[in-house]
Structure 1
Amino acid sequence: MKLQDRLDALRDDFENGRFPLVPTQAQLDTMRRATQSLIDSRQAENALEAGDIAPKFMLRDPDGSIVSSGALLARGPLVATFYRGIWCPYCNYDLQALEEVRPAIEAHGASLVAISPQTQANSRKSQRDNKLGFPILSDPGAAVADRFGLRFKLPEDLIEVYRQFGNDLAKTNDDSSGVLPMPARYVIGTDGVIAYAEVNPDYTRRPDPSELLPVLDRLRAGAPA
C-alpha cells in the first residue's frame, strides 16, 4: 500500500470516529482552518527547492551525539525529512514508510535523517516506537527548519486543540514558541546542492518514499537530478 493510501485511511478513521481519540466538530474545524490558512499563506513557495544550496547544520541525535551534515555529505548524498513530532500519527506513518526504503537509500550510498523540534527524549521514543534504523535529530526552536524556509507558528486555537488531545507542544519541544516545520523531504548531493525538494503545508499529504530512489540513481550516475 502506498503511503498516501495509508494516510487517507488514517484521516478517514480520525474524522469519522474510528480512532482512539474522537475529535469534536469544533476541533476538526479548527484543524482544517489552520491547515487551509497555511496553504493560503503560500509560505511553502518560499522554502528551499531543487538547485538551491542546502544550509549546513550540526544537530544532536537522541543519544546526544553531534551529527554534522558536512560529515554525512562527505560519505554520500543525504536524505533529510522534517518531522513534526511523536504526537503526529501522519508523521509517524511517514517515518515508517521511509524506514521501509532505508535499505535501498543506503544501498545508493546515501544517509537518511529526520529533523524535528521535539526533545531528544521524545526522539528516542519515536525511534523505538517506529522501529527506525535512522536517527531523529533535535532541532530546538526549529532553527534549521527556518533556514530551509519551513518554520511556521501555529495559531493559538490549534495549540489549544492539541493540548486537549493530550499533546502540550511546549513540553514536547521544551519550547513555548509554538513553532513547527512544514513536512518536507530533501535529497542533497555531495556538493551541497539540493537535488530534490518536496514541501507540503498540508501534513496529511505526503509523497511516496519510492520517489527518492530515481533521484539517488541520477546522483550516483552523475547526471543532473
Structure 2
Amino acid sequence: MKKYLLIILIVIAGLQASAQTGLSKGDDAPAFKTIDNNGNTLDLKTLLKAHKSVVLFFYRGEWCPYCNKHMQQVQDSLQLLTSKGAYVIAVTPETNENINKTIQKTHASFSIVQDKGYAIMKTYKVNYVLDESTVAKYKSFNIDLNKGNGNTDHVLPVPATYVINQSGKITFVHFNKDYTKRASVNDILQVL
C-alpha cells in the first residue's frame, strides 16, 4: 500500500514540473565547471576534449526508487558507455552524505555532482519547486527533503538525460515529467 501511495506522490510531483521544458536536441550544451563526489574537477569543455561525448543525467535523490533503478542500469552498462568514449555524470540536489547512500544502493562508480544552488539544473532547465502539500506528503513517507538536500527550498530536477557531443551540441534528450520514465541505456548507446 505504501508503495502505491509513493507512486501517486511521484505523479503529483510530476504535475508540478509542468513549467520546465528542458533543452532540445541540437541546442548548445551549457558549459559548467564543478566538483564531483570524488573531489575531481569536472569542466564540460575539458571533458569534451578528452572524450567523444558526455552523458549528463539528473536524479532526485537516494530516496527515489526510480532514480536508484536508473542509476543501477547505468552502472551495469557503464563499460558499454565508456567503451564508446562517453564520460558519465549524474547531477543531484542531495547532500554529499546522501550521495554516499546512493552509491551504496546502486554501486555507482561514475561521477556524481551535488548541484548546490542548482546552477546546472537551472541552465539545463530541469529544476522545479515542490509545493508545501507535496513536501508534507513526502514527509509522511519518511522522505525529508530538507535533510536530504541540506536546505528548505524543495527544489528537485526533472530526471532528464542529455548526450553532448565533442562540439558541445546536445545530440540526445530524454525529458519526461513522468518520473517513472527514464532514458534507456540502449537509446543512449545508439547515439554514442
Structure 2 length-normalised TM: 0.91
Matches within 5 A, 1:1-225: 17=1, 22=2, 31-38=10-17, 41=18, 43-44=19-20, 46-76=21-51, 77-216=53-192
3-state DSSP of counterpart to 1:84: coil
Q: In structure 2, the residue corresponding to 1:70 is in which secondary structure? A: helix
| 1:74 alignment partner, SS class | helix
Deviation at 1:158, TM superposition (A): 0.9
Task: Point out where structure 1 has 5 or more consecutive residues left out of the alignment.
Answer: 1-16, 217-225
Q: State how far apart, in whole Å, the 2-side matches of 1:31 and 1:110 are.
A: 30
Alpha-carbon displacement from aligned partner over 1:27-53 (angstroms, at most 9, x marks no partner): 765554343343xx3x34x31111001
Contact 2:26 2:169 in 1 (8 A): yes
Q: Cα deviation per residue 1:5-61 (whole Å; 9 max; x = unaligned)? A: xxxxxxxxxxxx2xxxx2686x765554343343xx3x34x3111100111112221
Would the alpha carbon gap of residues 205 and 162 (structure 1) be closer, same or farther in structure 2, given more than 3 Å must change?
same
Going from structure 1 to structure 2, the CA distance change for 1:165 and 1:198 (only over 3 Å counts) comes to same
Deviates more, 1:74-83 or 1:57-66: 57-66
Larger RCO, structures 1/2 (Cα 8 Å, 6+ apart) = 2
Contact 1:154 1:180 in 2 (8 A): yes
Summarize the Cα distance change of 1:110–1:190 in structure 2 as closer, same or farther, 3 Å threshold. Answer: same
Find runs of 4+ consecutive structure 1 residues off by over 6 angstroms: none
For the residue of structure 2 that corresponds to 1:81, the secondary structure is strand
How far apart in 2 are the matches of 1:197 and 1:23?
Answer: 29
C-alpha offsets along residues 81-112 of structure 1, whole Å, 9 cap, x if unaligned? 10111110110001011112211110011101
Percent sequence identity over aligned pairs: 32
- Superposition deviation, residue 211 in structure 1: 0.5
Distance 1:89 1:34 in 2: 14
Partners of 1:29 and 1:120 in 2: CA distance: 28
CA RMSD in angstroms, aligned pairs only: 1.9
Give ranges in structure 2 of 5+ residues lacking alignment: none
Q: Which amino acid aligns with 2:14?
A: T
Distance 1:71 1:210, change over 3 A: same
Contact 1:141 1:175 (8 Å CA) reproduced: no
| 1:194 CA displacement | 0.3
Deviations 1:176-207 (A, max 9, x none): 11111101001000111000011011111123
Change (3 A) 1:187 1:129: same
The TM-score, its normalising length taken from structure 1, stands at 0.78
- The answer to whether the 8 A contact 1:30-1:158 is kept is yes
The 8 Å contact of residues 93 and 118 in structure 2, kept in 1 or not, is answered as yes
Q: What SS class does the counterpart of residue 50 from structure 2 fall into?
A: coil
The change in CA–CA distance for 1:24 and 1:129 in structure 2 (over 3 A counts) is closer
Q: 1:63 to 1:133 in 2, by over 3 A?
A: closer
